[in-house]
Amino acid sequence: MNQELTVDFPGLRWRPATASDVPAWAALIARTAAVENPVWFEREADLQQQVESRKNPPAENTVLGLDDDGVPRAYARISRNPGAGKAHGFGCVDPDWQRRGIGRALLGWLEERTRRRFAADLPDDGTRQVPLLRIGTEEQHHHQGRLLESSAYAVVRYFNEMHRPLNQPLPGNVLGNGLELAGMVPGLHEPVRLAHNDAFRDHWGSEPRDEESWNFTVNHPQARPDLSTVVLDSSTGQVAGYQLASHDPDIAVQRGIREGYTELLGVRREYRGRGIAQALLADAMRRFTDAGMDVASLDVDSENPTGALALYTKMGYRPVNTSMAWDKEV
């Protein structure tokens, strides 16, 4: 790590995160989440992936702020796919250490690290890109929004978390001729990854998933292959669509409801308009119900080009939370 790049806040000792920091790092995030009640927050498994990342080595792309007792009180990290047009910034400050200027100092670190990443990682054609930093917030977290707005960030997209109660009549899931439902098994991991990259190439902000990130997705501790489904073309065996589900038991305790969450839902372009997404969601609802879930949930881009929001509304999903993507050219 370039030792000149540190957080401009002298009240804490700053250094990169390491594998041995993961439990205390996760505890910092959990303390913050207990006060701010985000819809989702990173756990130890997520942070373990970060410290093992080859694309975003933690020595250069993470920073922890430790107090005099060695307890993490703040952190920031950058994630960027090689050659991508944007970097993603993450971070939080311990509730007991907020309102001291640490969040703004972390934002400065994120921006400088983004500039350095873009300067070092040139695209294949050698052209320099304007460094762009994207940070996500939830609508309920007004203090984060005020900080970003005062730092010249702008909201560029809205996303809706949607719930569908499972105690209501469930829709049918009939597929057209030539299509069949299959379980999500390890042998389909790679075909589904390729189908995902194909299905999402026309979605705003989406970037191809490489094997490193995909393996983490399908092998995550909260992943539920038993609640996931793939639609195959009967004549070719090609993946036409997929629904990958997860379940977070801690969320069940926090919210008081058991959620079957659709992590990813996609349909290849050539198969759109054949009711595949509806069949996948209907199948998911039945699987969730059989597993004792209370609601089916998912997130959707409010301007999704495939008309997903209208489909979800038609199937009984209703928005319960809004999040935003904030961008700044740094």
Res 4: pLDDT: 59
Contacts of 314 (CB under 8 A, 6+ apart): none
Q: Which of 119, 152, 185 is the last residue of a domain?
A: 152
Its domain, for residue 236, covers 160-320
Residue 308 belongs to a domain with what CATH number?
A: 3.40.630.30
H or E segment to which residue 25 belongs = helix 22-36
Helix %, strand %, coil % of the chain (to 5): 35, 25, 35
Q: Which of 152, 185, 219 is the last residue of a domain?
A: 152
Do 63 and 119 have their domain in common? yes
Do 303 and 184 have their domain in common? yes
Do 169 and 253 have their domain in common? yes
Number of domains in the chain: 2
Distance CA 58, CA 1 (A): 9
Distance CA 219, CA 263 (A): 13
Closest C-alpha among 299, 4, 66 to residue 164: 299
β pairing state of 295-301 and 154-165 = antiparallel
Distance CA 55, CA 133 (A): 17
- Would you give the DSSP letter of residue 128? P
Res 124: pLDDT: 63
Res 306: pLDDT: 63
| Backbone dihedral angles phi then psi of residue 104, each to the nearest 5 degrees | -65, -40
Mean pLDDT by 10 residues, the chain (330 residues): 71 97 98 94 95 95 97 97 93 97 97 95 73 97 97 96 96 91 97 97 90 94 97 98 95 88 97 96 98 96 77 95 97
Query: pLDDT tens digits, residue range 165-215?
Result: 999 999 988 899 999 999 999 999 999 999 999 999 988 889 999 999 999
Distance CA 164, CA 56 (A): 36
Do 305 and 168 have their domain in common? yes
Res 1: pLDDT: 39
Inside any domain, residue 329: no
Inside any domain, residue 8: no
Do 46 and 147 have their domain in common? yes
Res 322: pLDDT: 96
Do 91 and 170 have their domain in common? no
Inside any domain, residue 3: no
Inside any domain, residue 131: yes
Res 296: pLDDT: 98
Res 304: pLDDT: 67
Do 144 and 178 have their domain in common? no
The sign of the torsion formed by the CA atoms of 103, 263, 79, 111 equals: negative
Res 224: pLDDT: 98
Q: Which of 100, 117, 152 is the last residue of a domain?
A: 152
Do 256 and 203 have their domain in common? yes
Inside any domain, residue 64: yes
Inside any domain, residue 188: yes
Res 26: pLDDT: 98
Res 37: pLDDT: 92
Per-position b or e across 156-174, b if 16+ CB within 10 A of its CB: ebebbbbbbebeeebbebe
